[in-house]
Amino acid sequence: MNDKLKVLGLDIETSPSTSYLWSLWSEINSYDFIQKDFRILCFSAKWLGEKKMISSSLVDFPNEYKKNPENDKLVLEKLWKLMDEADIIYGHNIADFDIKKINARFIINGMLPPSSYRTIDTLLACRRYFGFMSNKLNDVSQMLGLGKKKETGGFKLWKDCLLGDKKAWNKMVSYCKNDVVLLEKVYLKLRPYILQHPHMNIQSGKVCCPKCCSEDINFRGYSMNSTGKFKRFVCKSCGGWGSLKINELSKEDRKVITKNG
C-alpha cells in the first residue's frame, strides 16, 4: 500500500470564445451570438515533489489538429488520466476556473468524470489567510521571492496560436509549464498556514505532520476545544502545526466540562 497521497499541481490555458458583435459595447445575451466556444489549448501538471513536468497541447496531435484545430478531446483524455490518478489537485483559482472549465469540456466531449479528488486553491488561501496587496500568482510569487511568470506579449500570443503559429504554441506551453513551477513554490510556502488543508496521513498509528507527512516533529504544548486537551506539535520540515487525537482529559473531567457547558 502506498502511504502517500498523490498531489497534482495543475494549470490550463484556454482559447477565447469568438462571437458576433455589432459594436465593442454589444451586450451578448444569447448563445446564438457565439461563433466558436472556448476549448483547452494546453495543460501542464506536476506531481508534488517530482521533477518531471507533464504537458499536452492541441498541436501534440498533428493529424487531429490538421483535421479539426478545435478538437481538444485527445488533450482532455490525457488530462483525465492524471486527474483520475490524483488524490489532491491544487492550483491558483482552480476552484472557480480550471476545474469548472475542464469539467465543461469533459461533458461536452461526452466524457464521464474522473475519480473523486480534493482540491486546494492557492488563490482562496491567499484571500483567506493573508492580506497581500495583490493575490495574483505572479504578484504573490514575487512578493515571496519565488520568481515570476514568463512574459507572453499579451493577447497576441493567443491569436497566433489560433492561427497555428508553431513558435507561439511553444511559447504558450512554456508559459503554462512555468506557471506550474511557480505554483508549486507558492503552494509549499502557503501550506503551513492553510488550516483546512487535507490531512496527508493515511496510515493509522503513524504520528506525522498532517500537511506534509514528515515525522520530524516537535511537541509544543496543547490544543484545546470544548471537550478535550490534545498534545500539539510543529513540523520541522514545513512549519505546519498538528495535534494528536488522544484526549488528555479524563472521562470525569470531560463530563464536568460538558455539564458546565
Question: Dihedral sign, CA of 160, 60, 174, 14?
Answer: positive
Could you read off the pLDDT of 158-198 as tens digits, one per residue? 999 999 999 999 999 999 999 999 999 999 999 999 998 99
Is the pLDDT assigned to residue 248 strictly greater than 80? Answer: no
Name the residue with higher pLDDT: 220 or 202: 220
Other beta carbons within 10 Å of 12 = 22
- Give the chain's mean pLDDT: 92
Is the pLDDT assigned to residue 71 strictly greater than 90? Answer: yes
Cα 66 to Cα 127: distance, rounded to the nearest angstrom:
43
Let me know if 74 is exposed, middle or buried by CB neighbors in 10 A (0-12, 13-18, 19+).
Answer: middle
For 90, the grid coordinates are 491544487
Q: Where are the domains of the chain?
A: 7-21+28-193, 217-260
Could you read off the pLDDT of 95-150 as tens digits, one per residue? 999 999 999 999 999 999 999 999 999 999 999 999 999 999 999 999 999 999 99
Band of residue 4 on the pLDDT scale cut at 50, 70, 90: confident
One DSSP character per residue, 4-31 reads S--EEEEEEEEPPPEE--SSTT----SG
Give the pLDDT score at 254.
Answer: 59
For 84, the grid coordinates are 483520475
Could you read off the pLDDT of 16-54 as tens digits, one per residue? 999 998 898 888 889 999 999 999 999 999 999 999 999
Give the pLDDT score at 225.
Answer: 77
CATH number for the domain running over 7-21+28-193: 3.30.420.10
Band of residue 72 on the pLDDT scale cut at 50, 70, 90: very high
Q: Which of 243, 260, 244, 241 is nearest to 252 (CA)?
A: 260
Is the pLDDT assigned to residue 233 strictly greater than 90? Answer: yes
Q: Cβ distance 39 to 8 under 8 Å?
A: no
Give the pLDDT score at 1.
Answer: 41
Give the pLDDT score at 126.
Answer: 98
Q: Cβ distance 75 to 58 under 8 Å?
A: yes
Other beta carbons within 10 Å of 103 = 13
Give the pLDDT score at 155.
Answer: 95
Band of residue 259 on the pLDDT scale cut at 50, 70, 90: low
Neighbouring-strand partners of residue 12: 43
C-alpha to C-alpha distances, 182 to 20, 108, 170, nearest whole angstrom: 37, 31, 18
Name the residue with higher pLDDT: 79 or 246: 79
Cα 121 to Cα 109: distance, rounded to the nearest angstrom:
26
Q: How far is it between the farthest Cα atoms of the chain?
A: 76
